[in-house]
């Protein structure tokens, strides 16, 4: 990423081909939008001051005539507008979303308005842009357009080339670790029986609202029931097995030395509830920024679906053996597919080190209204 300096004291970020796109979350027409959840397909971002005239109207006319290109999975279109009134003019669809950037937070990071300006600056130049991101959210094209929209047809070749690019995108191997035989079969069965001994609550997703991290139910995004293990003896059993059988493999593969574990949760994704978890990252809120590695230890195999995938690296999905773990960085985009038959049970801790524990201490206040404390069991050191 480089910075273009134009008039003295005014700087615009200049994203170049191959640069990672800045992640952002912002308000959208349907509530909340987080670009980091869009990996796995091409994303077209169009920045304009308003949809009602000039470049905004021209770009939307071009996109509207080619709506069939945007399927909402392999290729998406995101309109980023300054104009609050666009919330009443535009309408989202599966392949088309609108982000309201009235405060310019996103535009600054993408080189549309200055990232820096001298004190007392009263006017800035808006640089309308069309930016194309690849399935790993890296820049493949960055086109600056005239404000009057007179050169908007420059984007046509980029848009029309997208289906071929999407079809040619190679499947890659995600940087994950699979470790068999972490939990013995008898422990797996015991944990399943304990789970089923009573009703368990549906659990939500972590969302960042203002300064607080909170948990909200969103069954379209996630359907899962959880049981929080609080028995100290069982927790010590978990930790002993992780120390002996999993942590040495993590140190070998990633040169990372785990010192803490967050939560001891047994989870169930069931076919009757169409259990699933759409693509997400595990460390995007203030209250989760300390998380370093996610771990999923399968407790059974008698189910269909429920596979773990990493959309930025292609469609391949993974199902560890019973008692086996899949371990991956919390910053990787990942999803759990819909369980179509049976029930999937798993133990799902997060792992981190002493440096990350300092981040957790700094951000602990973020959970003040969240109804959750990732260290509530008091047994985080592993």
Cα radius of gyration rounded to whole Å, the chain: 23
Per-residue pLDDT of the chain (382 residues), as tens digits, is 444 445 678 899 999 999 999 999 888 887 778 898 888 999 999 999 999 999 999 999 999 999 999 999 999 999 999 999 999 999 988 899 999 999 999 999 999 999 888 776 666 789 999 999 999 999 999 999 999 999 999 999 999 999 999 999 988 999 999 999 999 999 999 999 999 999 999 998 877 766 677 778 889 999 999 999 999 999 999 999 999 999 999 999 999 999 999 999 999 999 999 999 999 999 988 889 999 999 999 999 999 999 999 999 999 999 999 999 999 999 999 999 999 999 999 999 999 999 999 999 888 877 654 455 665 555 689 9
Residues facing 212 on adjacent strands: 209
For β-strands 42-48 and 75-81, DSSP reports them as: parallel
Q: How far is 53 from 149, CA to CA, in rounded Å?
A: 8
pTM of the model: 0.88
> What sign has the CA pseudo-torsion 27, 40, 140, 72?
negative
Residue-range domains of the chain with CATH: 2-168 (3.40.30.10), 177-367 (2.60.120.620)
Backbone angles phi, psi at 268, to 5 degrees: -135, 125
Neighbours of 340 (CB within 10 A): 13
Q: Tokens in use for 250?
A: 């993590």
Q: What does residue 88 show for φ and ψ, rounded to 5 degrees?
A: -100, -15
């Amino acid at each position: 990423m480089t910075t273009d300096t134009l008039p003295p004291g005014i700087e615009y970020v200049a994203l170049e081909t191959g640069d990672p796109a800045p992640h952002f979350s912002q308000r959208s027409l349907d509530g909340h939008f987080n670009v980091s959840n869009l990996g796995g397909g091409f994303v077209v971002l169009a920045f304009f001051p308003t949809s009602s005239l000039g470049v905004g109207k021209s770009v939307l006319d071009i996109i509207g005539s080619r709506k069939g290109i945007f399927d909402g999975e392999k290729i998406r279109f995101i309109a980023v507008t300054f104009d609050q009134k666009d919330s009443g003019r535009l309408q989202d669809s599966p392949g088309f979303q609108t982000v309201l950037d009235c405060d310019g937070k996103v535009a600054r990071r993408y080189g549309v308005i200055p990232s820096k300006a001298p004190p007392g600056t009263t006017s800035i130049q808006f640089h309308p842009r069309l930016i194309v991101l690849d399935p790993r959210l890296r820049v493949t094209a960055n086109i600056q357009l005239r404000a009057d929209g007179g050169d908007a047809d420059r984007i046509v070749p980029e848009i029309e080339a997208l289906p071929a690019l999407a079809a040619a995108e190679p499947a890659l191997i995600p940087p994950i670790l699979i470790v068999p035989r972490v939990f013995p079969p008898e422990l797996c069965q015991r944990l399943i029986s304990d789970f089923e001994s009573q009703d368990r609550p549906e659990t939500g997703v972590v969302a960042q609202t203002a300064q607080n991290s909170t948990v909200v139910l969103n069954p379209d995004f996630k359907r899962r029931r959880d049981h929080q293990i609080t028995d100290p003896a069982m927790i010590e059993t978990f930790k002993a097995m992780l120390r002996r059988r999993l942590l040495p493999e993590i140190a070998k593969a990633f040169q990372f030395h785990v010192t803490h574990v967050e939560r001891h949760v047994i989870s169930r994704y069931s076919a009757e509830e169409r259990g699933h978890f759409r693509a997400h990252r595990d460390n995007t809120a203030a209250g989760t920024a300390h998380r370093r590695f996610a771990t999923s230890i399968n407790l059974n195999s008698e189910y269909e679906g429920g596979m773990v995938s990493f959309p930025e690296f292609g469609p391949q999905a993974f199902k560890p053996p019973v008692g086996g773990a899949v371990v991956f960085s919390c910053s990787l985009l990942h999803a759990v597919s819909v369980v179509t038959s049976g029930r999937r049970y798993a133990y799902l801790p997060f792992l981190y080190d002493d440096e990350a524990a300092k981040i957790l201490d700094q951000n602990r206040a973020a959970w003040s209204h969240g109804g959750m404390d990732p260290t509530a069991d008091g047994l985080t050191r592993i």
